[in-house]
């Protein structure tokens, strides 16, 4: 009888194991999933870095629940607008709080 109990447990583990383990796998953002604030911040920095008039190293970018806050100093009003426009192009951005200041 003990032999049967051990065999039944092993059989159940083999049959149900892949079902329960597959639900535990860590995955990154996929289509339809929410984008993390960290990913948004990284994307905004990359978008701003793509503008030759802006220096991402002189700006701060913070994201909380999809709301991006830009800070720092730029040399023109066009740069203020360009930074906000670049931030809005990033997937997951809900809104941009533009606190950039002119030098």
Can you tell me the distance from the alpha carbon of 39 to that of 60, in angstroms, rounded to the nearest whole number? 15
Domains of the chain, earliest start first: 37-102 (3.30.1340)
- Predicted pLDDT at 54: 95
Full-model pTM: 0.68
Q: pLDDT tens for residues 11-64?
A: 455 555 544 444 444 434 555 567 999 999 999 999 999 999 999 999 999 999
- Please provide the DSSP assignment of 1-52 as one string: -HHHHHHHHHHHHHHHHHHHHHTT------TTSPPPHHHHHHHHHHHHHTST
Task: Please tell me what DSSP assigns to residue 86.
Answer: H
CA 76 → CA 25, 27, 44, 72, 79, distances in Å? 48, 42, 19, 12, 5
Which residues face 71 on adjacent strands? Answer: 60, 99
Where is pLDDT greater, at 43 or 2?
43
């Amino acid at each position: 009888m003990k032999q049967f109990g051990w065999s039944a447990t092993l059989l159940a583990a083999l049959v149900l194991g892949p079902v329960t383990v597959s639900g535990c796998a860590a995955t990154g953002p996929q289509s339809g999933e929410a984008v993390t604030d960290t990913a948004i911040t990284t994307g905004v920095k990359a978008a701003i870095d793509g503008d030759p008039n802006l220096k991402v190293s002189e700006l701060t970018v913070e994201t909380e629940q999809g709301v991006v806050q830009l800070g720092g100093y730029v040399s023109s009003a066009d740069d203020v607008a360009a930074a906000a426009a670049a931030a809005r192009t990033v997937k997951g951005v809900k809104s941009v709080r533009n606190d950039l200041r002119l030098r």
